Amino acid sequence: MKLAEMTVGQLVDALSSSEPTPGGGTAAAIAGAMGTSLLIMVTGLAKSRNNTDEEKRALAKAREQLQPLATHLTKLADADSESFNAVMAAYRLPKATDDEKAARSRAIQDALRGATIVPLDTLRACADALAQAQAVAQHGNRAAASDAGVAVALLRAAAAGAHANVRSNLESIKDEEFTSSTDAAAARLSAAAVADASTAMQALA
User: Could you list the residues that contact its own copies (CB under 8 A)?
Assistant: 3-9, 11-13, 15-18, 23-25, 27-28, 30-31, 33-38, 40-41, 44-46, 67, 70, 74, 77, 144-151, 153-154, 156-158, 160-161, 164-165, 167-168
* Nearer CB in complex with its own copies: 6/185: 6
* Nearer CB in complex with its own copies: 29/131: 29
Residue 76 CA to residue 153 CA, distance in Å, equals 19
Q: Residue 178 Cβ, how far from its own copies at the closest point, in Å? A: 18
Burial of 104 (0-12, 13-18, 19+ CB in 10 A): middle
Q: Residue 127 Cβ, how far from its own copies at the closest point, in Å? A: 15
* Nearer CB in complex with its own copies: 30/135: 30
Using only C-alpha atoms, what is the Rg of the chain? 19
Q: Residue 101 Cβ, how far from its own copies at the closest point, in Å? A: 22
The answer to whether the beta carbons of residues 80 and 119 sit under 8 Å apart is yes
Q: Residue 97 Cβ, how far from its own copies at the closest point, in Å? A: 28
* Nearer CB in complex with its own copies: 11/185: 11
Dihedral over alpha carbons 26, 32, 37, 38 (to 10 degrees): 130
**What type of residue is 108?**
I
Burial of 51 (0-12, 13-18, 19+ CB in 10 A): exposed
* Nearer CB in complex with its own copies: 131/155: 155
Q: Minimal CA–CA distance to 118: which of 171, 68, 81?
A: 81
* Nearer CB in complex with its own copies: 40/58: 40
Q: Residue 87 Cβ, how far from its own copies at the closest point, in Å? A: 12
Q: Residue 91 Cβ, how far from its own copies at the closest point, in Å? A: 12
